[in-house]
Each structure stands twice: as C-alpha cells, then as structure tokens.
Structure 1
Amino acid sequence: MPSAVDVVLPCLDEVLALPWVLGRMPSWARPIVVDNGSIDGSAQVALDLGATVVTADQRGYGAACHTGVEAATAPLVAVMDADASLDPADLALLLAAHEAGGDLVVGRRMPVGRGAWPWHLRLANREVARRLNRRTGLRLRDVGPMRLCHRADLLDLAVADRRSGYPLETVVRAAEAGWTVVQVDVPYRPRAGRSKVTGTPLGVVRAVHDMTRVLAG
C-alpha cells in the first residue's frame, strides 16, 4: 500500500503510550505527533522513535488537531488519539472505507477489556450521537477519536473549535457540505494513563459544554 496518509496524533503527556502507538503505525502512514504542552518528555520520545513532531502553542484538543492537519503534506490525513486506546493498524479499515466511497470515515469504538469505556461516558456519547443525527440526518453511533479524509477538504471545512468539540464540529460541517460520512468498527482498549479530557469531572464538564456549543451553532 502506498505511503499516502499522514496520521495526526494530538499528544499531552503520553510518554507511556507512544512507543506502542508508534511501533504499530503502518508502513504507509507517517505519524505527526503534535505536542500540546507535555512535561513528561513525550516530544523527545516521539522524535527518538522516528515521528515528525510539531508543537501546538494553543492548548486544547482541537488546537492540536488543527496544527497537525496544517503540518501534514499527504493527500489523506487521519487523526487518532496517542494514548494506546486505538491501534494504528486499524487505520487500514478506515482507508478501505474511504477508497470505497466515504469522504469522511469515522471509527466507531468497540470496547475491549474492562475499563476501556466507562458506562457514563458511553451514555453521554450516545446522547451526543443522537443529537448529531437529528441535526444532520446521519446515522452515526459514535463520534470517535479516529477519523480519515482528504486533507485539503478538511481544511476547507474551516472547523473552528479548538477544544473538545473539534471532532463533532468536523462531522457536522462535513454533513452540511454534503460529504458521504461513513463509520467502521474499531477496537477500543483501556488507555495508558488518565484522560486529559474526560479523566476528571472538570474535563467531562468542559467536553459536554464544547459539544453542546457545536450542536447549538
């Protein structure tokens, strides 16, 4: 398979996960680790493991994603978490769905093992998906953290959110632009370390606020 995909990996203190994640990267994909204020040496570890490393000066998941997409040069770009909850090898599933006609391919998380996806976060995600589908006419069951599409088209969407609402806004804008949005199942494992987005009550509140703002926009 040709080298045609740049993989954006937003990163905030993922030193425990990066060796596994980068070691599982397909030969046809180029990892771009976007350091978003790490203090655990993640950037150096990523460099030592051969990844391209860029810095997102603005804090926030969406800011890191946008910085990585801007730094990408391949025709196709994927975005996925760098916390070892998702296997880069499964990007092949998204690429196949894209080649079959999906403009934007989203990975639907299928929990593997205890603690992979706590029930309260699953419930919240189900409600977000319900509201997204009602607004857009899509039939998604998850707005997951693994996505793939054409880089230039993604930039043209002009996604504005720079925090937790970035994935949701990406899907909303894609649907409004008439994209074919498809979903494929991907295994979802317990992450390495604590989530910076939903690992604390404050993080959950912020994520819900960001997503609510996107859906109300």
Structure 2
Amino acid sequence: MPVAIKVDFLSEAYFSELSEQYDQIRSEHQKWYIFDTSKAIASHAILTHMMNDLVENQKLLNGHKQFDLFFETFDQHVKQLPSLTEEIHYFRNELNRYGDAPEQLEEMIKLVACGKWQLFSARYHRYEVSEYDAAYNVKFISSNGRFEAVYHAETGQMVNDPVNMGTYNYAPGSIHPWKYYQHHKYDKVPWKNWGNTNQISYKEITKKQSRHSSTEQKKSTEELHNLSKNKMSDSQKCR
C-alpha cells in the first residue's frame, strides 16, 4: 500500500505525516478479529516509504538533527511485523553504513575508550574464508546496540565480506527476556533464513569451519581486551 508524503524528508512534519499515515492505513485495515493484521500492514507500508526515501537521500541523514529519530521510527515499525521480509532484512546493511564506524581498528579502540562503542563476542564472525585468518576477527557494537563493525586484529582493517561482516540490529540484544526474544525474532531468525547478503546463505556460512575458540583467537582477543583497558585508563579527550 503506497504512502503519500509530500513534505521534506527528515523534517518534523515528515515524522508527523508518517504517524498520521500509519494511523490511517491501520484504520482502513483494522478488523475486530482475534488476529488483527492492521498494524503489520500499516508498518510495512511506512517502512517501504522510509526505505525509498533514504535510498533517494542517502547523504542527508548523516549528521542530521533527526538522525536518531529516523532509526527509532524505523525500528519501531519493524517490531510491528510478525516477521521480516527478505527486502527489509537486507536493508539492515544499508542502515549499518550510518554507524560511522572507522575503517581502522586503532581508531575504533579510541571510540571504545570513550564509551561510544563496545567490544562484543565475535563468535559468529569467525568462519573460515580464503582471504584471511578469521581467528583474528573482533566485533564491536555501538553504545545504542544498533550498529556493528568487525575488524581483523592482525591487519587492523574492517571486515566487510558477506560471511563475517557486521550488520545492523533492528532489536539490540539484551539479557532482558522480551528484548532477547525480539533480537532473536528480528535479527537472528532472518539471518538464518537469508544470511547477511544474497551472495551466500546461512547454511553455506555455517558449513565453514569456525576459528572461534582457536588458540590464535583466544590470544588475539585477550590482547585486544588489554589494549582497550589501557586506552580507557589514558587521560585522552573524548569528543
């Protein structure tokens, strides 16, 4: 169902009209049944419109005052869906570009020291590839839990291949049961259905040998933890 919004992308009126359009579409499809699909229909229409708007205005979102509101609104509508479509799943790669993760691991460690990113387990980002030893892959997640970045600790370069790349989280993980469930539903299950990109499936990825828990991986991760701690203890300025 098409959404008709004529105001400027990312303006305050834009988000107001998204909300109004959502209510209108939901009202048109609302049924007084046990299984009411109106929320999903309306949210899918809003998401389709937002995806098209972002693709047509890719540079406008960076540094915009409504940056956070865009992602909050997008994620909110994702969570109204009973399940993700393949298109919305792969769109997370478009969204993850806005995490502003540096290309170099050294710069990322500085951001970790400032509390802007956190070091996380890279267990599912250490599958063997021919180009490098995945045992040295390390993963970071932004402080809001949305954006991910994977680096190779030996080269210091960001990892972007479809096997081990970092992706955007529609529902950041948590030990809280409901948030954990949402992360599983909107991030993990779609990954298992379609992989990170259409270049290689989840089954093909997981058939590869994992370098997680290898001697090289444990040593590399420990060294990175120590380096991060040292950076945190430095009296550096955080912007």
Structure with greater strand percent: 1
Answer yes or no: same fold by TM over 0.5. Answer: no
**Higher RCO (C-alpha under 8 Å, 6+ residues apart):** 1
Structure with greater helix percent: 2
* TM superposition score normalised by structure 2: 0.26
* TM superposition score normalised by structure 1: 0.28
Radius of gyration: which is bigger? 2
